[in-house]
Structure 1
Amino acid sequence: MKNHRVLTLYYHRVNILESDFNQLCVSPTKFRQQMLYLKHNYRIVRFEDDWSMLDSNAVAITFDDGYLDNLEYALPVLEELEVPATIFVSTGTMGQDMELWWDELEALLLEGNEFPLYFELFDDQFSCRWDTSTLEYRKNCYMGIHHLMKSYISFEKRENWLMQLWKWRGLKRTVRKHYLTLSSRDCKELARSRMITVGAHTISHPSLAGLSRESQEFEIKASIDTIAQIVDQKITVFSYPFGNPEADFDQDTEKICRKYGIRKAASTENALWSASTDLYRIPRKVVRDWGPVEFEQKIRDYWNEQAGTG
């Protein structure tokens, strides 16, 4: 058995924001520097390729969520440098009438100057009251609500909570330009590039393991079907939202992916792919807004980390 490995990197956004609480953005300049370094130093492969046929170590590039800036800022760099990448798109915000829920939550709790002294959430199961008088307290509130929204409530309940927060702030629900995700037209344009593979990433970006089998199946199948219809091709790759094995996806999730034609699925397990890796648990390592020197060191560290590379 061959002992080569693949380092799969995952990005979210290529943009510059005033506030980036979740550290999702890499600036366009740094992204180009990072791609140049990888192109000059490593073999870059497509996520969907059969890596068992490789005869050397390699790197794969992926993006999660489907932000509009993937098209605006990442694609030109990828095409210029001829670097292939896979973009996993969450379909629920394609109408561009809402933001991804963690961005909306961040805007409601962490942006602006005038806040009520406390926020009281009304819910039949998770009612709670948070002190929101300072930024630090609001960060605590953000983390608490994020945790519940991610793993314990339905899309419908999440929407109800967000509307409670908009009312609490006394603001009209809006979508910020710099937080737009891909529309169906944008997604089609991405798919036309020979550098891009489009994959599915659920509808509403939940932690799948917290859902019933029926709800998991709906989130996965509907997102695959939507993307397939838009790009007019079969979708064979998928990325689990949040991506931690067992915590965010389980054996049921993997079986559902197989059922609907997925041949390879990406996790966020912090490891490298090797010939013995489960194709439905491809590990990936995150990339942040690192300059050239720090990025080079991080990549070297990623290759040298031995834990969990099987």
Structure 2
Amino acid sequence: MAKIINFHDVHDRTWFEETLDVIQDLYEVIPFEEIQNFYKGKVTSKNITHLTVDDGHSSTYSLIYPILKERGLTASIFVSPKIIQEKTNFWYSESSDYDKEKLLNCIGEILNIKRESLNDIYPRSLMKVLSLSQNWEIIKLYQEKYYEPTKCGQYITLNQLLELERSGVFDIGAHTMNHPILANENDLTSELEIKKSIIVLGELLNRRVTTFAYPNGSVNLDFGKREIKFLREAEVEYSFSFEFKNLAKNDNLLSIPRYGLYHGNKDFVRKKLKYGAIWEPIKKRILNNEDKYREELKKKFGL
């Protein structure tokens, strides 16, 4: 069945090569133009897939790009023009290796929550239910309190972005300015994050940007009707979420589902791609998962 497969940062060349081996064994990897044709009813083949990459981590340029080029494959990438221009990091990558207990101390202080009530809480999940400004307050406090330096930028440079644009390997779309969880933001911030990223990226690429990917991307948790409205106003034509669903001709083009691949041996990847559309929705209903956990955190702390 037709599907879209997504990657983020990739650090293991062997894993990525083996994963592509599985993908190419199961599907015909098609360019984004053919996804557009699929939704127009012009593609009849069932076993097709398009590859996407979110965030624009430096490994997109150093590892993913040369491997796709060697194999004659294409993909879409979604990037933040602000992060690229300023050579900074998203909030989650800046705090990715912070000590859990120290980070919880800072979260408690910023949110005015008793520290003992945060015991056994996973800080990254809690930060995903906060606003962008709250997360940067927490990070700033951590840096000051524990003498933690700001990290060097972990994402592609402007020159690399322009090379990827010229290469023909990638279609490039927007991914907000700062990677907030859009549903956690007020109307003005959500609108600005979406629309400004599309405008600024278009200025950098010297063309109109018509594609977008939602940060995190869980439907009705990380974005909703409000964000879809902003995208329509910005004249975005295709936007991508995260759902383990195969493509269907009647998909909402501003919430196109994608499978995420992050780890696992070849057998695991093969099973996930073949049976994910059946198993993942069942697992989401009956087992614990991060989406449920985040909803519980919202209720517990009144967020």
Which residue of the partner structure matches residue 297 of structure 1? 271
Task: Determine whether 1:163 maps to 2:140.
Answer: yes
Are the aligned partners of 1:187 and 1:230 in contact in 2 as well (CA < 8 Å)? no
Identity fraction in percent: 22
| Distance in 2 of aligned mates of 1:302 and 1:7 | 11
In the alignment, the residues of structure 1 paired with residue 28 and residue 90 of structure 2 have an alpha-carbon distance, to the nearest angstrom, of 33
Equivalent residue for 1:122, pick from 89, 102, 109: 109
Which whole-Å deviations, capped at 9, do the CAs of 1:188-224 have from their partners, x for residues lacking one?
Answer: 1111121211110101111112222221110011111
Aligned residues: CA RMSD: 2.6
Partner of 1:82 in structure 2?
A: 72
Alpha-carbon distance in structure 2 between the residues aligned to 1:302 and 1:275 = 19
Deviation, structure 1 residue 238: 0.6
User: 1:149: how far off?
Assistant: 3.5
Query: 1 or 2, which has the higher helix percentage?
Result: 2
Matches within 5 A, 1:153-302: 153-155=131-133, 157-175=134-152, 180-302=154-276
Unaligned 5+ segments in structure 1 are 16-26
Report the TM-score when normalising by structure 2: 0.82
Relative distance call for 1:189 and 1:117 in structure 2 (3 A) is closer
Give 3-state SS (helix, strand or coil) of 1:106's partner.
coil
Q: Find the residue that maps to 1:10 and give its secondary structure.
A: strand
Picking from 10, 13, 27, the partner of 2:9 is 13
The 8 Å contact of residues 191 and 230 in structure 2, kept in 1 or not, is answered as: yes
Per-residue CA deviations over 1:227-279 (Å, capped at 9, x if unaligned) read 11222221111101111111111112111111112111100122111112111
Matches of 1:117 and 1:218 in 2, distance apart? 29
Q: Does 1:151 align with 2:129?
A: yes
- The Cα shift of 1:152 comes to 2.9
Aligned residue identity for 1:38? I
**Distance between the aligned counterparts of 1:165 and 1:281, measured in 2?**
36
Instruction: Tell me the distance in 2 between the aligned counterparts of 1:116 and 1:300.
Output: 41
Partner in structure 2 of residue 54 of structure 1 = 43
Q: Which moved more, 1:29-38 or 1:67-76?
A: 29-38
- C-alpha distance 118-40 of structure 1, shift in aligned 2 (>3 A): closer
Segment of structure 1 superposing worse, 204-213 or 36-45? 36-45
For 2:248 and 2:103, the matched residues in 1 are separated by 52
> Tell me, what secondary structure is at the counterpart of 1:119?
helix
**Contact 1:118/1:129 (8 A) holds in 2:** no
CA drift of 1:151 comes to 3.2
SS of the equivalent of 1:248 reads coil
The 3-state SS of whatever aligns with 2:179 is coil
